[in-house]
């Protein structure tokens, strides 16, 4: 009668294998838990500042409209557009992330006449979620 591999494992070798496999399993579990940490789950970018300010006014000519997020954003899908009260787009369609500050996006605007405007933004957060919204401001003479 032949002996199986199970017959050759001594109790001490069995304990060693058990602890080795348990340690490997724990390492894998902890690695997976680190990949889905709560910090990443809460990483949606939020707007922390705008220029002109949300609901605010700006006197005279402004050259650009800006938005700052609480964290850096990805270059894909970044957008910032400015629309007049008549629904006409008045920005230069050159929205870009600031090379020295990845949480800052700006867009150039044509000469804005006095009136109300809406800035619309869209960005891809570090966690892969797209955030979007808008704010209103007014240009005064």
**What CATH number did the domain enclosing 111 receive?**
2.60.40.1220
Same domain (yes/no): 82, 32: no
Distance CA 72, CA 91 (A): 23
pLDDT tens string 37-88: 444 445 688 999 999 999 999 987 899 999 999 998 988 789 999 999 999 9
Number of domains within the chain = 2
Residue of 112, 50, 107 whose CA lies nearest to 79: 107
Lowest mean pLDDT among 72-76, 87-91, 108-112: 72-76
For tokens 């809460």, the residue is: 42
Range of the domain at 58: 42-140
What was the pLDDT predicted at 38? Answer: 46
Question: For residue 63, what is the DSSP state?
Answer: S
pLDDT digits (tens, 9 = 90+) for 120-135: 999 998 888 899 999 9
d(CA 97, CA 76): 10
Both 116 and 52 in one domain: the answer is yes
**Residues 66 and 134 both lie in one domain:** yes
């Amino acid at each position: 009668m032949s002996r199986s591999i199970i017959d050759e494992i001594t109790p001490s070798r069995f304990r060693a294998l058990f602890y080795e496999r348990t340690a490997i399993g724990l390492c894998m579990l902890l690695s997976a838990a680190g990949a889905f940490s709560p910090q990443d789950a809460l990483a949606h970018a939020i707007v922390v500042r705008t220029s002109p300010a949300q609901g605010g006014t700006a006197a005279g000519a402004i050259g650009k409209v800006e938005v700052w997020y609480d964290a850096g954003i990805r270059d894909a899908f970044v957008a910032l557009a400015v629309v007049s009260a008549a629904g006409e787009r008045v920005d230069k369609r050159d929205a870009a992330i600031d090379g020295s500050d990845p949480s800052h996006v700006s867009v150039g605007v044509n000469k804005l006449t006095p009136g109300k405007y809406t800035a619309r933004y869209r960005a891809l957060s570090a966690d892969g979620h797209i955030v979007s919204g808008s704010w209103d401001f007014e240009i005064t003479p």
